[in-house]
Structure 1
Amino acid sequence: MKILTARPHRLLEECVRRLGEKTQQGESCMFLVPSQYTLQAEIEIMERLHVNGSFLIDVLSPKRLQSRVFELAGMPKQTIFDERGKCMVLSTIIEEQKDELTIYRGAAQSGTAGFTARVSSMIASLKRSGLSAADVAESAKKMEEENPARGKLGDIARIYAAYEQRMAGELADAEDVSREMCARFATSGLFKEKNIFVYGFDMITPTFAAELLSMEPLCSSLTLAIETDANAAPDGRLFAPVNYSLERLEKLAKERGVAVKREVLNAELDAPADIREVEKKLYALGCAPCMEEPTAIELHAASGKRQEVYLAAARMRRLAAEGEDAAQMAVVYPKQSGYGPLLQNILPMYGLSAYVAEKRQAGAHPLSRFILSALTAISGNWRLADILECAQSGFLGLSQDALDRFCVYCEGADVRGDAMRKPFRYPKGVTEEELAALEESRKQVMTPLLALQHDLQAAETADDTIRAVLALLENVHAYETLEDMRDELNAAGLTAEAQDCAQVWNAMMTTLDQLHTLLGGRAVSAKTVTGLLQNGLSALELAALPPADGAVICGEIGNVRTAQVRTLFAIGMNDMPGSGDNGLLTVQEQQAAQEVSGAYLGMTPQESAALGQLDELKALSGAKERIILSYAVADDTGRTLREGEAVQAIRRLFPNMPVYGGLAQEERVEMLCAKAPALEALAVELSETADGRRELGRQYASAAAVLSGEEESARQLFNVTRGLGAPPDKRLQNTLARTLYGRPVSSVSRLETFAQCPYKHFVRYGLVPKREQRPGVDAAELGTLYHEAAERFTHAVTALPEFPEVSVEVCDKLMDEAVSPLIDAWRESPMGESRRGEAVARRIRRTAKRTARNIVSQYADSSFRPVQMEFVFGQNGLSPIVLELGDGTFVYLQGRIDRVDVMTGGGLRVIDYKSGSRKFDPTLVYWGLQLQLLLYLAAALARVPGSHAAGFFYCRIADPTVQTESRIREEVERQIAKKLALSGISLSDVTILRAQGGQQAAMVTKDGKPNGRFAASMVDEAGMEKLLTFARNKAAALADEIYAGEIDDSPVERETFNACQNCEYSAICVFDPLRKPRRRLTAKRLEDLT
């Protein structure tokens, strides 16, 4: 065996040259390369040897080699399990062994696919090193008892032993298959008189080393070409893991009597001087920097990731226009950086074909999601999230409109559990026709799921279990749906996603076959099937298609394989978060385990980091003419991002290298070379021009002129420009406003809505859109329930002869009687019938009782008594509040006051119940956002003869908690009462203050005068009158604007609050604070109102 080594990008040409020499001599050859490199290797051979093909050169990947050997020498007797099957086997073993484990008991009991995958990786390492479960157990015993690795190895040995027993003689994993393949090498005759060249592998694993050494005696020659350098080189630490793997190979070769010869190829890199410097010194220690500005390397900073891809695509387009073949360009980016989808989306905008060499998780495909969510719904008591995910997968035949309505109804009505199995009977928010359509959708969703549940429950054998899953797929026509998906994706140009549809079906069938074998004839529950399939599919990846001719090859650094290209784009070169140590053993524990076992158990994090830097070195030195690096200055949220290690290293190497870009306006200029990006750039630039921030540049004007010359582009450009400029004030004609809003009857809450935002008022009361039901508890519905309960309770408690001296027990009993029928009515809903509904009902009852005690306590130390609950004005023939508008017309306010109290002498106060914490705020009153209490007081005074204003207050409905170190019940109750105390404005008359009771009575000093410290909570008679007058005038002004047609989108803003927060109409108005600022409310004091 010959081991041929060289630094990166020297060996391919040498391997192809030697292949050519052998074929010219009439000798046959085999070129063994990684699977992702087979097509590229064939192209390299044809181009470098100037042939259209050769029967004397066989290009194979390890997987294809395995298939060829088994075709020629026969398949193993065992059933072959891939990583999916292996994870399913291990998940059953972990479930069985979980209570017997020590260190890993918690992880095993959680049953996550991640833990199963880590166990699978560890067992693979142990098998590759030739260690059995007994060897691992023996190694564990040799360790000191206090060493955590002892307990961990003991758990691993237990799982491994069960795994060996389960697999013995019947099943074969990857390591077993490798041994079976090596045993058949001689019989296959595949290597007879063959010259084998092995190229493109980063390291030589123990398994691969055993395969190579098994080939060597059977072939004419075997040359292993691997990129590395001596450990003593300035950057030798990067190659140390590779060299360690070669040392292990040589040790194993010596044990088998195979002679190994080393040959080092010292060739200069075929690249400009700048790139050669990068290849030699990027991560080298102690090398002098290059003071000249590089000409073959550029560094760009982009404002964001998307802008970074736009810049790269624009540069590729220019290079292509200058005659550079797109196939001679490549894009690399860090792992898990998210650039793949951006490249797939943006490069075609510039007329470029992108081949993104990324594998996708099979478990994320809609077919996998459908099967797993169906099984999870059955085994998880019909959780709504599982059912909706199943429906949204696209395999249940619902139209998009029907699906949207179904999801909105189920979430809004909070349908869950057994309620989904029964006909829909809750018409809240929908018509009878809509409810009937929703019921049809429910049947369409639930019928196949209920059939699956029945079949799995009736299953007696593994055959029955698998048939139940296959029947589900057949009942919903899953294969036909996949074909339709594939056709739609192909039509949309999404060829990679279309290919996934074919792959995932075959993968699913193979997974079910392996699951059938694993079950060994036993029927299992839906929960068990779900767990096994989740573990199996988590280990499966869908391969990318081979690249089309002329495509730009894109991929993650370390995963994409290309020969040297003319131009390399390295994007996303930011500081990436570390992957963390996801192994079962820490670094120290792994080293201790290797020492006692004498086996290699995989790379340490330090070795992985070195290989990561080596991958970057290989990627960045893979350009023949130029390297264009870039990084994003900020992420999508605006958070600043740091330069990555490679960028920092290059800037140290070339300290005088400029950094281009970073300005958004410069980036937009680069987008003008293609239609779709140009429209996006023009949208921003024209908006800023229309707002007066800058003049439109010549390049943008030229681009707009070109786009205007084509019909479709002109239409799109018109859609961009018609919304530009300062937003006009929105106003309806006076007559149209009156027609739209109908009778001149309004409410205070409606006026307050207008004060928040005129456009919100227009949408809510003019357009009157239908509100979607939202999941969870409806706060308005609960508020109504509390108000009704408080009214019923007050009627009952005030009828007692001992009122207000009422005991807590009597309070609780009366409120229970008042609120129980209301809770029963509320629970006539899917959520009300659920366990969550039971919990909410308990909270309602608890809060209502607390409110009852609070009401009684308010009267206990007060001279006020309720005159009427739910005091109505402007309805049922009762006098409204009349507001005269500027044009002489009138608007009539109506409303319902929660509580009106009076005292001897005619003092009257109004009280409004609020489930939230609300206080009187002069600023909000001044700007019209808090007029309710004042106008309610005015209405009550008009209805109660001989009365005069004593105050207006909020009463909080809640069952608050308090933070206190006191364990004395009375002290806790005092603190709770303080939180629930009346909050508002009282007349400053001492008699009135004392009559109010509570905190208001405490505002009187010892010498019988109002306490000035509470000036913000009281006014004199003149001040109270001015407050009432101000509220009436403000209400009239707001009503005047409403009927004058004001509908401008001008939401208010104050400190952290703005009217757009949680606005249900934001999707309709699409308010942009960058183009039009919100109305900022300036702070006001009580004196400003009086």
Structure 2
Amino acid sequence: MSLYYHIGSSGAGKTTGVQNRIIEEAEKEKDRSFLFIVPEQFTLQTQREILSKSRTGGMLNIDALSFARLAHRVFEELGVTLPQVLEDTGKSMIVKKLLLEHQDELTIYKSKVKKQGFAEEMKSLIAEFYQYGIDLEHFENMKKTAGDRDILKSKLHDIEIIYRAFAKFIEGRFVMNEEVLDRMCEVAEESELLKGSVVVLDGFTGFTPSQYNCIDKLMKYAKDIHVVLTLSPNLVSGFNQGDGSLIEKKDSLFELSLKTIDKLEQLATKNNIQTGIITYNDEKGRYQNNPSLTHLEQNIFRYPYKKSTDHSAITLLSAKDTEEEADFIVAKIRELVFENSTDTMDVVSKETGTGTEDAAVGMRFENIAVLTGDLAAYGPVLERKLLKAGIPHFIDQKKNIAGTSAVEFIDSVLDIILSDFSYESVFRFLKAGFTDIDRDDISRTENFVYEHGIKGYWRWSRVFKAKKEEPETENSVRVKVLDLLREIKKSEEPKEKPTVKERLTLLYSLLDKCEVELKLYNLSETLKNSENPKDRIKGTELGQVFKSIVKVFERINSLLGEERLPLNEFKEILDTGFNEAKLRAIPGGVDSVVVGDIERTRLDNKNVIFFAGCNDSVIPGNKSKGSLLNEFDRELFADNDIELSPTQRDNASLSEFYMYLALTKPSQRLYLSYSKKCGDEKEGRPAYIFGRIIKLYEELEVQKISRYEQDDIYRILGSDKGLSAVIAYLRENASKGNIKGDTENYSDSNKDLSGDVDGFKKSVISSVIYSIIRDENPELIERLIHASMGKRLTSNLTGEAAEKLYGKVIVGSITRLQQFAQCAFSHFAEYGLKLKERQEYRIGGLELGLIYHDALKKYAEGLKKEKMKWADCLGTEREAREASAIESALSEYQDIISSSRRYEHFKIRLAKVLDRTIDIVTKQISLGQFDVGFIEKRFTRESALMKLTGVIDRVDVVKKNGKTYFRIIDYKTGRTEFDIEKVKAGLQLQLAIYTAEAAATLFEDGEQPEAAGMYYYRIDDPIIDAKASSNAQPDIPDSEGTEKTMPAVPSPETEKEIMKKLRMDGLTVGEDDIIGLHDISL
């Protein structure tokens, strides 16, 4: 048995070399098993590569598989039946259950048990402990290591409680997936598959303890083991001559590979196995014809480093934001694919779908990749741009099923029971789209429930009524909801709650009754057949959702099936399962651009790589990933020989290594870009890698991305096939008066404009316009041209349409006229389309205004009926009249008021404001000679085209010197200030029209009424800072000697300030004798 290390730099041809070697051996030894063990996400690609290299098109004795799959192959061979294997979803659900059960025993983590994501963090730590062989016996040693670090001790106390409970829960029932390899090692000696096999380990940056244990076993039974490692060959020179002191030649970039060799050497020595090294140089590797990328590979992260004058294959870029960055990448991808198309019209025709099939093309999309250190931020932007440009792509990112319509449907059912049929939960259930209830019926029912404040099972189980009628549609929806949820609701009513299995059965029955699986399948197939690439991706994802839900159900049933949990705990555990369940990322096709993450995404055979988002806030990606043990904790354990996953200190070199691998993947070109505005950053800065690369090359500089600064057809075309360029160009030239309102001037693409950048742009844009016109869509260009000239292609409503919308005679209030003056579209929406805000079961601003108006009317009418002046109504009599007015005004809102205790305070506040209003109005009347003449006076003014209606809140009248003077007061509950300019603009017409209408209709013949003023009065009880002017009593000790401040009594100054705040706002006739009518002191 021999162990071979295949050593070489990135791109040196290690994988190709070992594959060719093994294929050759496999063809000679057809009875021997050859096993390529690679990371899970690399298996399919490795299988394809082996098949493509095989002369026969296939090899029965070669297999490419992961460590986990190898274990299952051995178990299948030997007929070994393992307990159920726990994967992430099952682990998370168990941990969630245990956290809820043991919450009261926890100390530092007690308050975090229900925090989103906490169960996943605890699960990850427990899985890490299993992976690194940390069992319960280790906890005592870890606590001793913690010393006087009390917080760490508290953490370990809580973690041990959950770890112990977890271990007890799974004992004899389940096995962790981290333990599967160890279980295989226990039976490895019986496996014929492993005996005499040749094993290749490729694609790993290092191994876990379980994997090293597996390799140890393979050394005992395999014929040969080949380990492929990325490492500079000069670091292992002399190894084959017996010099094995590799770690002494420590290089920070390849430290992980060197440590791996060191551990493998220890295993080889233990098993008395010979080792050897096969080195690969760069002469026949990836960069044999690319000196600038060769120089990058040989010098990046090396000390000392050399400089080169050739940087032709490397481009560093800065963008103003992520949008511009993504636009450049998309435009450049298009250029790379169509780079042999030199004719402008040919490129444009191909871009717009009008070119011929035999147009020359460059490289394929599959030869291009985009990497980023922050796929969560850049993925959606890149996906949107690539979809818009019609570029096939694959986002290498898994999504969970939480948030999908089917999961929302399940979640809402449990919420309905937990919240006792709350408004939000019921309509989440209905809007999920699986109940077969008509959307319009759902909307009508929602408006009805919203308006009538219906909540709780008691209300839903009784017939809906509105003004003594029974609305048919709404009651039909109510009955269907109750029918669907009856069994689930009934199961939760007994004191003994159902088991987890019984709950899952009821939920599945509901899904079956609503045909959720069939509906998801039909929608998935429809979307997969769509012409829209985004729909096709969504369709593929939807096709996996129901199976994922069933798997979560099966998993929770196998874990907790017979247990009886409170419903809220059951829901939390189920939610945890949905958050862990992932949808597989499936490429749309082989010829696609890969968009991935620097660490997770495995790339090979890429000609060009774009590295987006190279900002210092993103790279290096060494930020904390939310572990319960922080870096200080981990480093303390590492220093005391307690091995866990790499610390941040270790990850620093690991991040460099991942960066090195990413930078050295392309064979032709490398683009790195950063954004000057990245996320919440005020000013984005380039990552450290920019400086490292610039140091390696003479005259290499960061270029600014600008789509219109160079004569680059692809940048001009952008990510939307030229439409944005056309719009920008037309807008720019319209401002200069160069655009005419026809398309003839823009369809000539054959003018000789070479050598002129502006001319080149015009040529490209003219070509785009011409191709669109040729594609039988001239109306689009016509609209763009007219839009750029500021012209609207739409006309006003026809008289016939206006009559259908508004009627022959416009009927409305002054408020309607003001609304039209302020926004014609708002008027059209409300009065033409009849759009209205939903009626809500509450007392809002509009209702509040009506209540105050009605209460003031009732109060004034009561005084008028008994011929009592406002100034004569004081003390308890006024209080009684105010209370009566309030009760009368609130009579139609009693159901709302009695529905919530918060309205008790509302009534108190209402009474205070009314009392303040009546007090101020009384004082204002008392200051002058006016008295209240008319209250809530309605009027109607008609003409052939309009019927105008209105209500004048109050008209004060005084007769003086044979004349009748009046003033108009309009009550307002909001902040309305009189503005003469708004009157002129038609935005404040009420006072003016009220004044004219009062003069014309309210008085008897011969009275000769004259307007003395028109005013707004704001109904309010303002808060005044009365510190300086109050008569606050001094601090007086109470019986216990504690000083207390007596309540402040408003001073005359404070009262004066309140009068000032609530003075009427408007216009007064400026004659001295009339001014005195308002205030005799003036």
TM-score (normalizing by structure 1): 0.79
Task: Provide the secondary structure at the position in 1 that maps to 2:1017.
Answer: strand
- The 5 Å alignment of 1:947-966 reads 948-958=1010-1020
Q: Which moved more, 1:265-274 or 1:790-799?
A: 790-799
Relative to structure 1, is the Cα distance of residues 928 and 262 closer, same or farther in structure 2, using a 3 angstrom cutoff? farther
Contact 1:866 1:899 (8 Å CA) reproduced: no
Task: State the partner residue of 2:294.
Answer: 276
Q: Which moved more, 1:785-794 or 1:716-725?
A: 716-725
Report the Cα distance in structure 1 between the residues aligned to 2:259 and 2:286, rounded to whole angstroms. 28
Return the match for 2:567 from 502, 512, 526.
526
Relative to structure 1, is the Cα distance of residues 244 and 537 closer, same or farther in structure 2, using a 3 angstrom cutoff? farther
> Is residue 80 of structure 1 aligned with residue 85 of structure 2?
yes
- The 5 Å alignment of 1:639-1038 reads 642-647=685-690, 649-651=692-694, 653-654=696-697, 655-657=699-701, 659=703, 661-663=705-707, 670=714, 677-679=721-723, 681-686=725-730, 689-690=733-734, 697-711=762-776, 713-714=777-778, 725-728=789-792, 742-743=808-809, 747-765=813-831, 767-773=832-838, 778-796=844-862, 803-804=870-871, 814-820=881-887, 822-823=889-890, 825-826=892-893, 835=900, 838-839=901-902, 842-843=905-906, 846-860=909-923, 862-863=925-926, 867-868=932-933, 870-875=935-940, 880=941, 894-902=949-957, 905=960, 908-942=966-1000, 943-944=1002-1003, 945=1007, 948-958=1010-1020, 968-971=1047-1050, 979-986=1061-1068
> Is residue 96 of structure 1 aligned with residue 101 of structure 2?
yes
- Percent identity, aligned pairs only, is 21
The residue type paired with residue 275 of structure 1 is L
Task: Provide the secondary structure at the position in 1 that maps to 2:977.
Answer: coil
The residue type paired with residue 791 of structure 2 is P
Task: Provide the secondary structure at the position in 2 that maps to 1:562.
Answer: coil
Report the Cα distance in structure 2 between the residues aligned to 1:401 and 1:687, rounded to whole angstroms. 42
Report the Cα distance in structure 1 between the residues aligned to 2:274 and 2:537, rounded to whole angstroms. 43
Report the Cα distance in structure 2 between the residues aligned to 1:286 and 1:470, rounded to whole angstroms. 65
Report the Cα distance in structure 1 between the residues aligned to 2:921 and 2:660, rounded to whole angstroms. 77
- The 5 Å alignment of 1:397-408 reads 397-399=436-438
Deviations 1:123-176 (A, max 9, x none): 122222222234225522553445311111111111111111212222222223
Report the Cα distance in structure 2 between the residues aligned to 1:991 and 1:749, rounded to whole angstroms. 34
- The 5 Å alignment of 1:339-378 reads 339-341=378-380, 343-344=382-383, 346-347=385-386, 352-378=391-417
Relative to structure 1, is the Cα distance of residues 451 and 734 closer, same or farther in structure 2, using a 3 angstrom cutoff? closer
Task: State the partner residue of 1:591.
Answer: 635
Relative to structure 1, is the Cα distance of residues 743 and 216 closer, same or farther in structure 2, using a 3 angstrom cutoff? same
Q: State the Cα distance separating 1:86 from its structure 2 match.
A: 0.8
Contact 2:718 2:724 (8 Å CA) reproduced: no
Q: State the Cα distance separating 1:365 from its structure 2 match.
A: 2.8
Task: State the partner residue of 2:523.
Answer: 485
Report the Cα distance in structure 2 between the residues aligned to 1:133 and 1:385, rounded to whole angstroms. 46
Q: State the Cα distance separating 1:689 from its structure 2 match.
A: 4.7
The residue type paired with residue 407 of structure 2 is S
Report the Cα distance in structure 1 between the residues aligned to 2:222 and 2:877, rounded to whole angstroms. 98
Q: State the Cα distance separating 1:30 from its structure 2 match.
A: 0.6
Q: State the Cα distance separating 1:89 from its structure 2 match.
A: 0.8
- The 5 Å alignment of 1:308-387 reads 308=328, 310-319=330-339, 321-341=360-380, 343-344=382-383, 346-347=385-386, 352-387=391-426
- The 5 Å alignment of 1:123-162 reads 123-162=126-165
Relative to structure 1, is the Cα distance of residues 175 and 850 closer, same or farther in structure 2, using a 3 angstrom cutoff? same
Report the Cα distance in structure 1 between the residues aligned to 2:276 and 2:884, rounded to whole angstroms. 93
Q: State the Cα distance separating 1:586 from its structure 2 match.
A: 2.3
Q: Which moved more, 1:737-746 or 1:567-576?
A: 737-746
**CA RMSD after TM alignment:** 4.2
The residue type paired with residue 971 of structure 2 is Y
Q: State the Cα distance separating 1:747 from its structure 2 match.
A: 3.7
Relative to structure 1, is the Cα distance of residues 794 and 477 closer, same or farther in structure 2, using a 3 angstrom cutoff? same
Report the Cα distance in structure 2 between the residues aligned to 1:546 and 1:14, rounded to whole angstroms. 28
Task: Provide the secondary structure at the position in 1 that maps to 2:117.
Answer: helix
Report the Cα distance in structure 2 between the residues aligned to 1:426 and 1:5, rounded to whole angstroms. 81
Contact 1:129 1:206 (8 Å CA) reproduced: yes
TM-score (normalizing by structure 2): 0.80
Q: Which moved more, 1:20-29 or 1:968-977?
A: 968-977
- The 5 Å alignment of 1:70-219 reads 70-108=75-113, 111-219=114-222
> Is residue 393 of structure 1 aligned with residue 432 of structure 2?
yes
Report the Cα distance in structure 2 between the residues aligned to 1:688 and 1:482, rounded to whole angstroms. 48
Report the Cα distance in structure 1 between the residues aligned to 2:46 and 2:987, rounded to whole angstroms. 73
Unaligned runs of 5+ in 2: 236-245, 341-359, 740-745, 747-761, 1033-1044
Relative to structure 1, is the Cα distance of residues 849 and 522 closer, same or farther in structure 2, using a 3 angstrom cutoff? same
Q: State the Cα distance separating 1:220 from its structure 2 match.
A: 1.6
Relative to structure 1, is the Cα distance of residues 532 and 637 closer, same or farther in structure 2, using a 3 angstrom cutoff? closer
Return the match for 1:267 from 265, 272, 281.
281
> Is residue 561 of structure 1 aligned with residue 616 of structure 2?
no
Task: Provide the secondary structure at the position in 2 that maps to 1:874.
Answer: strand
Report the Cα distance in structure 1 between the residues aligned to 2:371 and 2:101, rounded to whole angstroms. 44
Relative to structure 1, is the Cα distance of residues 588 and 308 closer, same or farther in structure 2, using a 3 angstrom cutoff? same
Task: Provide the secondary structure at the position in 2 that maps to 1:364.
Answer: coil
Contact 1:31 1:198 (8 Å CA) reproduced: yes
Task: Provide the secondary structure at the position in 2 that maps to 1:970.
Answer: coil
Contact 2:441 2:477 (8 Å CA) reproduced: yes
Contact 2:731 2:788 (8 Å CA) reproduced: yes
Report the Cα distance in structure 1 between the residues aligned to 2:127 and 2:711, rounded to whole angstroms. 49
Task: State the partner residue of 2:501.
Answer: 463
Contact 1:317 1:351 (8 Å CA) reproduced: no
Q: Which moved more, 1:37-46 or 1:934-943?
A: 934-943
Relative to structure 1, is the Cα distance of residues 5 and 147 closer, same or farther in structure 2, using a 3 angstrom cutoff? farther
Task: Provide the secondary structure at the position in 1 that maps to 2:102.
Answer: helix
Task: State the partner residue of 1:625.
Answer: 668
The residue type paired with residue 509 of structure 1 is V
Aligned length: 977
Q: State the Cα distance separating 1:495 from its structure 2 match.
A: 4.5
The residue type paired with residue 541 of structure 2 is D
Q: State the Cα distance separating 1:291 from its structure 2 match.
A: 5.1
Task: State the partner residue of 1:601.
Answer: 644
Q: State the Cα distance separating 1:192 from its structure 2 match.
A: 1.2
Report the Cα distance in structure 1 between the residues aligned to 2:642 and 2:301, rounded to whole angstroms. 30
Q: State the Cα distance separating 1:489 from its structure 2 match.
A: 2.0
Unaligned runs of 5+ in 1: 884-888, 1002-1007, 1010-1090
Q: State the Cα distance separating 1:379 from its structure 2 match.
A: 1.5
Task: State the partner residue of 2:541.
Answer: 500
Q: State the Cα distance separating 1:627 from its structure 2 match.
A: 1.9
Report the Cα distance in structure 1 between the residues aligned to 2:559 and 2:982, rounded to whole angstroms. 69
Report the Cα distance in structure 2 between the residues aligned to 1:59 and 1:138, rounded to whole angstroms. 41
Report the Cα distance in structure 2 between the residues aligned to 1:569 and 1:257, rounded to whole angstroms. 45
The residue type paired with residue 901 of structure 1 is D
The residue type paired with residue 953 of structure 2 is D
Task: Provide the secondary structure at the position in 1 that maps to 2:312.
Answer: coil
Task: State the partner residue of 1:447.
Answer: 483
Q: State the Cα distance separating 1:513 from its structure 2 match.
A: 2.0
Task: State the partner residue of 1:614.
Answer: 657
Q: State the Cα distance separating 1:180 from its structure 2 match.
A: 2.1
Q: Which moved more, 1:730-739 or 1:122-131?
A: 730-739
Task: Provide the secondary structure at the position in 2 that maps to 1:871.
Answer: strand
Contact 1:360 1:541 (8 Å CA) reproduced: yes
The residue type paired with residue 954 of structure 2 is R
Contact 2:38 2:203 (8 Å CA) reproduced: yes
Contact 1:204 1:246 (8 Å CA) reproduced: no
